[in-house]
Structure 1
Amino acid sequence: MLARLRLPFRAGPSMQTYDFIIVGSGSAGSVVAEKLSASGRFSVMVLEAGGTDRRFYVQMPLGYGKTFYDPAVNWNYRTEPDPGLAGNVDHWPRGKLLGGSSSINAMVWIRGAREDYEDWAAAGNPGWSYDDLLPTFKAIEDNQAGADEWRGRGGPVHVTDNTGFVHPLTHRFLQAGQELGLPHNSDFNGAHQEGVGIYQLTTRNGRRMSAARAFLWPAMKRRNVRVETAAHVTRILFEGKQAVGVEYRQNGQLKTARAGREVILSGGSINTPQLLQLSGVGPAKLLQSFDIPVLIDSGHVGANLQDHLGINYTWRAKQKTLNQILRPWWGKALVGSQYLLLRRGPLSMSMNQGGGFFRTDPAHIRPNMQLYFQAFSTVLPKPGERPILSPDPWPGFSIGLSNCRPSSRGEIMIRSADPFEQPRITPNAYSTEHDVAEMLDAVKFLRKLAATSAFADVISEEVLPGPSIRDDDALIDDFRRRSGTVYHPVSTCRMGKNGKNSVVNSRLSVHDAGNLRVIDASIFPSNITGNTNAAAILTGWKGAEMVLEDHR
């Protein structure tokens, strides 16, 4: 019933007013809070539905296996049964804590390809080309490998070079890729993206470098910043079409806060469109079906959902992998002591130590697939747990991949006017012939990698999908059954010229609304080639700069 009320907003005598109210403290919201508060001129309120990120398994890099299903820090979204995934319901983890999904992700730092941002600018978004954004990317970084034409040093996000610490099998993977013609790439964020190499991670001294650690923790020390946790925003408050504040529930109490300048939505690609729809901004027929008064009829709110889909192939190895050190009790004791005393070892890294980008067809002008090498395996399932810290009892390793620019489109829509009911997520995975065809070519490439001389004395047998899965129909059936999200949903409030094709303009202001912006990955006009966290942080940085420019 809360969302159905559309009473004129009046601030009570005890209500505090802030210049800016930021909904969400994730990859973008943390950056926005830090940037807007840095000068001391503006007061900033951050409302986070989750709790603190000061948890051991959040700060320990490989601890994200423990947070993968933990409702204390994870929204644990579930999609609709997806025909493209053989009717499976996919698990979509999203961070429900300070730092958002940057506090539970796999920490791989990939900006995306130059062409991705050229596409953004060409779609009618001035200021978003690669050359426009490169100085910002560099300013964000404190890259351990050092500064150069493409990389930055001295920024708030520490990026670790793990070249000297990866498992030896990772180098076998690099050799295999080069046997198949992929160049060795020492920096996927440098001059070129194609090739195989070691992933750089957002860690520092063996701890996760989340957006909260990099941006929000410093901001929270300022007197002009107020961060409220367990504060679930239920709707945006409007006077006419001007956003003037928000309503939120905290510890069972319904509260309101007023924004003197702007309300900024940084809830991410799921929560942001959900909140807009609950507040009367969205597809009119949908809102009317739940008796939500329509403020702005926008069919693009929640539409145009894009996501990367991934699958792993797994092999039994003839030599030890990380399974043999992470599985037994004595191994856990050893790596645990190594981590606690030195902040080193497997627990200080991601499960994705190596990877790369390749083209499934040489005719493609740029890579369309991403690779992930994991020197351990998790074939044996554990209900309700992602067994990263308890892998298989036999030596195994996996090579995963995900598509970079799928053509399938889904949507995220509310189920009711209840702000506490999870929205309906319909990914429509593999719903185009294009996506099926390129994934078929990609999984065949995985077997080519395994057949190289680099792995000749390593592989004992293929475990998943197994040698019986050979012809095209069987391969397609397999990846439909075993594929799932790689946690990169974007574009549900995409940026564009006008309300006919988008939700926000190039300055991230919501079309036809006043004092309301969206600053998070939901504004991406299209998905990028690779992991999305770096681009989400960039969006927070650039979006905050635009806000400051408009409020000089």
Structure 2
Amino acid sequence: MSVEQYDYIIVGAGSAGCVLANRLTEDANKSVLLLETGGSDKSIFIQMPTALSIPMNTKKYAWQFHTEPEPYLDNRRMHCPRGKVLGGSSSINGMVYVRGHARDFDEWAEHGAEGWDYQHCLPYFKKADDWAFGADKYRNVGGPLAVNNGNNMQNPLYSAFVEAGEQAGYWHTDDYNGAQQEGFGAMHMTVKNGRRWSTANAYLRPAMERSNLTVKTGVLVKRVLLEGKRAVGVELVQKGKVKRFDCRDEAILSAGSIGSPHLLQLSGIGPAKVLKDAGIEQQHELPGVGENLQDHLEFYFQYQCKQPVSLNRKLGPLSKLAIGVRWILFKTGLGTTNHFESCGFIRSKKGIEWPDLQYHFLPAAMRYDGRSAFDGDGFQLHIGHNKPKSRGWIRAVSADPKEAPKIQFNYLQEPEDVEAFRACVRLSREIIAQPAMDKYRGEEIQPGASVQTDEEIDAFVRGAVESAYHPCGTCRMGAEDDEQAVVDPTTRVRGLQGLRVVDSSLFPTIPNGNLNAPTIMLAERAADLIRFGEAADAANVKVVMDEQWQQRQRQGKQQREVR
């Protein structure tokens, strides 16, 4: 029986996989097979930005993973959805576009990911970028990924929040994805002409017009096939039948920070004890596979609103129907935004070199499932500590790919993370207490005025924090001689030939921001490494930093020292 062969096999049509499918098929002499367990992304609930809470909580579109009981969160089992649809998690996420701070990528290089410092990454952020407000040294126009500010902060609460941040002593930033992340300003989202601009829309659909790309959906990859120390193909299940597809050049895992380490382990690649406990025959020892798991936690800081301007008035069934009809007919109105249109990036204390706390501001008090948090008008801050020290793991439990792996983040294991969340509470109260919020600020609903001491804050945080859905780090990129690194800085799996991993599992450390933008950047740069064996020359731009970061937590007035 003949086996279909392709030059490249990509496992996972998500944020990274769609980018790779597009870029690798630019070479008409190379054939590419893209494999995805999920199916079509054409649902209105995926394409309409305001419906973002629906696909994330739908089994059809997302793997509904849950963690083991988290020992430092009162043994809560945390929800960890991952995209299972064309576009992957870019089709179910909040569409927030944050590159991360420049120093986040310098930190990658410091951890052994040579060539992944900010100046080398910036050309690939720009390559992807189609920025609505014009090109400069940091931004680009004409790339595949549309980025804008949604409805341009029409609700007055957005601007009031930004002004409050400045009144509290923080910088204003005109573009947190440009020269200066630190401060308060407008937030950016991946939306185009009123539609979610996932990597399926931005990258995959144009590539599907090419004859050298084959896309197969509804398939479940069982393992990577090895001959000695070389990957030669994959084995999968399609409509109940086991099939094999071979690759002439490389197999590339882009199954995400949960899926990629799990698939490596299913293939016998990983820590010896994990494989033995799961009953999987070891093919290649790599102790770092599934380790170094990181994520962002956040909670909602909720207030009643004294003015009738919040989106709580739009959460009833008739209002939602009207928003949906307008979106269907015209692609305009509240259906075109994720509602996170202003934001802030600050440092939790002095002595922190670059921001480690992030705000998403929402002019409504509601839950991630889209339901109102209480009757009446309200607003909320999503606030979290974005540079956690705590680390977790992912472990296969059997050779069956349908059986979910065990996931343990060890959230808030490290005292520094607990301390940072105390700062989240206290600094947020200071910001909302500023004059800009006086005419809007009503009663504090959550955490509530009674939550004041360290012990009370810690107890609240343990019970209230939720994942921001940014898992990463489980196939960490590092130097060739780093035994815990899973891939080298060219994205090749250490000790094997013909096998790469390209997705957010490669991140050595988690950036200060949402992960979709850096994942797309990583895939853009990896595509050049795969095709040409080299990447673009480094940029040479300045980054705005607070030169007095060791002495102060906020600036007091706008001072822009550039280095």
Normalised TM-score (structure 1):
0.94
CA shift digits 1:153-201 (9 cap, x unpaired):
1101011134634421111111110111111112111111000111111
Query: How far off its partner does 1:324 sit?
Result: 4.0
In structure 2, give the amino acid aligned to 1:428.
N
Residue matched to 1:547: 530
SS of the residue 1:401 aligns to: strand
Residue matched to 2:485: 502
Match among 138, 144, 152 for residue 150 of structure 1: 138
1:172 aligns with 2:160: yes
Distance 1:297 1:312 in 2: 42
Residue matched to 2:392: 410
1:522 aligns with 2:505: yes
Residue matched to 2:263: 275
How do 1:346-365 residues align onto structure 2 when only pairs under 5 Å count? Answer: 346-365=334-353
Query: How far off its partner does 1:501 sit?
Result: 2.6
How do 1:236-251 residues align onto structure 2 when only pairs under 5 Å count? Answer: 236-251=224-239
Residue matched to 1:7: none
- C-alpha change, 1:391 and 1:55, in structure 2 (3 Å) is farther
Match among 5, 14, 37 for residue 49 of structure 1: 37
Query: How far off its partner does 1:253 sit?
Result: 1.2
Query: Does the aligned pair in 2 maintain the 1:309–1:484 contact within 8 Å?
Result: yes
Distance 2:57 2:18 in 1: 23
In structure 2, give the amino acid aligned to 1:492.
T
1:16 aligns with 2:4: yes
1:470 aligns with 2:458: no
Query: Does the aligned pair in 1 maintain the 2:345–2:358 contact within 8 Å?
Result: yes
Distance 2:253 2:13 in 1: 10
SS of the residue 2:527 aligns to: helix
Match among 471, 488, 496 for residue 489 of structure 1: 471
Residue matched to 1:296: 284
Query: How far off its partner does 1:430 sit?
Result: 0.3
Moved more, 159-168 or 62-71: 159-168
Residue matched to 1:258: 246
Moved more, 334-343 or 221-230: 334-343
How do 1:32-47 residues align onto structure 2 when only pairs under 5 Å count? Answer: 32-47=20-35
In structure 1, give the amino acid aligned to 2:31.
S
CA shift digits 1:125-180 (9 cap, x unpaired):
22211111111111111110110010001101011134634421111111110111
1:480 aligns with 2:472: no
Distance 1:242 1:387 in 2: 45
Query: How far off its partner does 1:390 sit?
Result: 5.6
SS of the residue 2:62 aligns to: coil
Query: How far off its partner does 1:329 sit?
Result: 3.5
Distance 1:546 1:286 in 2: 31
Query: How far off its partner does 1:344 sit?
Result: 2.1
Residue matched to 2:379: 397
In structure 2, give the amino acid aligned to 1:43.
S
1:427 aligns with 2:409: yes
Normalised TM-score (structure 2):
0.92
Query: How far off its partner does 1:550 sit?
Result: 4.2
Residue matched to 1:71: 59
In structure 1, give the amino acid aligned to 2:485.
S
SS of the residue 1:431 aligns to: coil
In structure 2, give the amino acid aligned to 1:297.
E
CA shift digits 1:474-519 (9 cap, x unpaired):
1111011111210111110000113513000000000011100001
Query: Does the aligned pair in 2 maintain the 1:159–1:201 contact within 8 Å?
Result: yes
Query: How far off its partner does 1:97 sit?
Result: 0.3
Distance 2:318 2:255 in 1: 41
SS of the residue 2:485 aligns to: coil
In structure 2, give the amino acid aligned to 1:245.
G
Query: Does the aligned pair in 1 maintain the 2:153–2:341 contact within 8 Å?
Result: no
In structure 2, give the amino acid aligned to 1:21.
I
How do 1:74-85 residues align onto structure 2 when only pairs under 5 Å count? Answer: 74-85=62-73
In structure 1, give the amino acid aligned to 2:347.
R
Distance 1:68 1:122 in 2: 34
Residue matched to 1:440: 422
Query: How far off its partner does 1:79 sit?
Result: 0.6
Match among 364, 377, 380 for residue 365 of structure 2: 377
- C-alpha change, 1:351 and 1:90, in structure 2 (3 Å) is farther
SS of the residue 1:83 aligns to: coil
SS of the residue 2:10 aligns to: strand
1:222 aligns with 2:210: yes
SS of the residue 1:85 aligns to: coil
Query: How far off its partner does 1:437 sit?
Result: 0.6
In structure 2, give the amino acid aligned to 1:49.
T
Match among 99, 102, 107 for residue 90 of structure 2: 102
SS of the residue 2:83 aligns to: coil
Query: Does the aligned pair in 1 maintain the 2:304–2:441 contact within 8 Å?
Result: yes
In structure 2, give the amino acid aligned to 1:546.
L
Query: Does the aligned pair in 2 maintain the 1:374–1:397 contact within 8 Å?
Result: yes
Query: Does the aligned pair in 2 maintain the 1:145–1:161 contact within 8 Å?
Result: no
In structure 2, give the amino acid aligned to 1:422.
A
SS of the residue 2:479 aligns to: coil
- What percent identity do the matched residue pairs reach? 38
SS of the residue 1:388 aligns to: coil
Query: Does the aligned pair in 1 maintain the 2:57–2:369 contact within 8 Å?
Result: no
Match among 95, 120, 124 for residue 112 of structure 2: 124
Residue matched to 2:124: 136
Residue matched to 1:9: none
Distance 1:55 1:452 in 2: 42
The answer for unaligned runs of 5 or more in structure 2 is 535-563
CA shift digits 1:397-419 (9 cap, x unpaired):
11111212100000011122211
Residue matched to 1:327: 315
Query: Does the aligned pair in 2 maintain the 1:34–1:218 contact within 8 Å?
Result: yes
Residue matched to 1:5: none
Distance 1:412 1:451 in 2: 42
SS of the residue 2:184 aligns to: strand
In structure 1, give the amino acid aligned to 2:389.
S
Query: Does the aligned pair in 1 maintain the 2:150–2:336 contact within 8 Å?
Result: no
In structure 1, give the amino acid aligned to 2:49.
P
The answer for unaligned runs of 5 or more in structure 1 is 1-11, 380-385
Residue matched to 1:535: 518
In structure 2, give the amino acid aligned to 1:58.
I
Query: Does the aligned pair in 2 maintain the 1:327–1:393 contact within 8 Å?
Result: no
Moved more, 130-139 or 262-271: 130-139
SS of the residue 1:489 aligns to: coil
SS of the residue 1:311 aligns to: strand
Query: Does the aligned pair in 2 maintain the 1:193–1:357 contact within 8 Å?
Result: yes
1:452 aligns with 2:440: no
SS of the residue 1:412 aligns to: strand
In structure 2, give the amino acid aligned to 1:511.
R
In structure 2, give the amino acid aligned to 1:302.
G
Moved more, 328-337 or 494-503: 328-337
- C-alpha change, 1:488 and 1:325, in structure 2 (3 Å) is same
Distance 2:245 2:347 in 1: 50
- C-alpha change, 1:420 and 1:165, in structure 2 (3 Å) is same
Query: Does the aligned pair in 1 maintain the 2:153–2:342 contact within 8 Å?
Result: no
Moved more, 120-129 or 411-420: 120-129
In structure 2, give the amino acid aligned to 1:298.
L
Query: How far off its partner does 1:318 sit?
Result: 1.0
SS of the residue 2:72 aligns to: helix
In structure 2, give the amino acid aligned to 1:442.
C
Q: CA RMSD in A?
A: 1.6
Distance 1:198 1:474 in 2: 32
Distance 1:328 1:496 in 2: 50
SS of the residue 2:135 aligns to: coil
